[in-house]
Structures are given as structure tokens and as C-alpha cells.
């Protein structure tokens, strides 16, 4: 995949973009950039506070800028995108031009079982019914389908996922 300087991991909240991305970065000797972490340190507050104090559209504007800046950086990196990054057409197009876009997929059942204890850590998952969570999950699958490589992580360990991504990128 020459021409794509970075690898960007996309997918629904909690599918493992950060843990897989960190491991991939270690193995490929590349810097790791988590767009949520960048936004959080820029604002000096957690993502949940940015949503509750400034609102989602403020967060989305920052997210778009952060994704574009990460794509434009010189050194080849591993990027972990927030699950809603591709809601911005501009951020999506920029990622496609500069990164090898990997979508991590997890079945709803597996995801729900895994995320149940952590729902409060994501503003969009807080106090949602099972029906609402499933709707959000389904709606989002459309933006994750758009990628260079899709990997189902249901049955994979972090290391197995890293190996698969490395192979697809070569």
C-alpha cells in the first residue's frame, strides 16, 4: 500500500482501536496518535466533559481539525480515530487520501457484552436503552464500511489483529 503514509484505525466505540493501535505502533516502530487523546489534552478535559460543557458539534469541529492535522504530519504514524470521525466528509476524504483506512468490526452481541461495564465512559452511550444502542451501532456500520481493509475482531487477540493489519498493509 505505498502512498498511504499512515494507518488509521476506525470502528465503533470500544472495539479495540486504541489497544490494537498501540500494539501495532510498537511493532512497526511508529508513533501512535489517538485523536480523542489529542482533543482531550488540547482542551485539558475528558471527552465526556467536552460533550456536556461545549456540546457535540463543538467536539465534532475539533475532531475534524485534529484528524486532518494528524493525517498531515510528516512522520508515518498509526492513528486511532474516534468512532464518529467519519461523520465529517472532509475528515473522511482526508483520511482516504493520506492513510490506509482499517475498519475494525465487532458483532453487536460481542460488543454489548464487552462494553456493558464501560457505557458511562462514552457520552453517546450513557443512559441508552438496548434498542437505542443497537440503532446507533447499525447506523454507524455504514460509515465503517468505507475502508481499505475491514477486519472482524470478534475472535481475534490483539496480537492476531495486529498481524492481520500488518499483512494487509504490506
Query: Using CA of residue 35, residue 145, residue 11, residue 74, what is the dihedral sign?
Result: negative
Minimum distance, C-beta of residue 124 to ligand S3P, in the bound complex (Å) = 5
C-alpha cell at 138: 447499525
Q: Which 90-129 residues touch ligand S3P, going by CB under 6 A?
A: 122-124
Q: Which of 7, 24, 25, 47 lies at the binding interface for ligand S3P (CB under 6 A)?
A: 47
Q: Would you say 14 or 101 has its CB closer to ligand S3P? A: 14
Query: Which has the closest alpha carbon to 34: 79, 67, 99, 73?
Result: 79
Q: Which x/- pattern, by CB under 6 A, does the window 128-167 give for ligand S3P?
A: ----------------------------------------
Cα separation, 85 vs 60, in Å, equals 8
The DSSP line for 49-106 is HIIIII-HHHHHHHHHHHHHHHHH-SS--EEE--TTGGGSHHHHHHHHHHEEEEEEE-
Q: Which x/- pattern, by CB under 6 A, does the window 18-37 give for ligand S3P?
A: ------------------x-
Q: Which stretches of the chain bind ligand S3P, using CB under 6 A?
A: 13-14, 17, 36, 47, 82-84, 122-124
Amino acid at each position: 500500500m505505498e502512498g498511504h503514509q499512515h494507518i488509521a484505525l476506525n470502528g465503533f466505540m470500544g472495539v479495540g482501536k486504541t489497544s490494537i493501535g498501540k500494539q501495532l505502533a510498537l511493532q512497526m516502530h511508529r508513533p501512535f496518535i489517538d485523536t480523542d487523546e489529542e482533543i482531550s489534552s488540547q482542551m485539558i478535559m475528558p471527552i465526556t466533559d467536552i460533550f456536556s460543557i461545549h456540546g457535540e458539534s463543538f467536539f465534532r469541529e475539533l475532531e475534524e481539525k485534529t484528524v486532518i492535522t494528524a493525517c498531515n504530519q510528516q512522520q508515518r504514524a498509526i492513528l486511532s480515530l474516534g468512532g464518529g470521525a467519519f461523520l465529517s466528509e472532509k475528515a473522511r476524504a482526508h483520511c482516504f487520501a493520506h492513510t490506509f483506512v482499517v475498519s475494525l468490526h465487532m458483532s453487536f452481541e460481542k460488543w454489548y457484552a464487552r462494553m456493558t461495564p464501560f457505557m458511562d465512559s462514552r457520552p453517546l452511550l450513557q443512559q441508552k436503552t438496548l434498542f437505542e444502542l443497537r440503532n446507533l451501532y447499525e447506523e454507524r456500520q455504514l460509515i465503517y464500511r468505507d475502508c481499505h481493509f475491514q477486519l472482524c475482531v470478534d475472535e481475534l487477540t490483539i496480537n492476531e489483529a495486529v498481524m492481520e493489519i500488518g499483512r494487509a498493509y504490506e
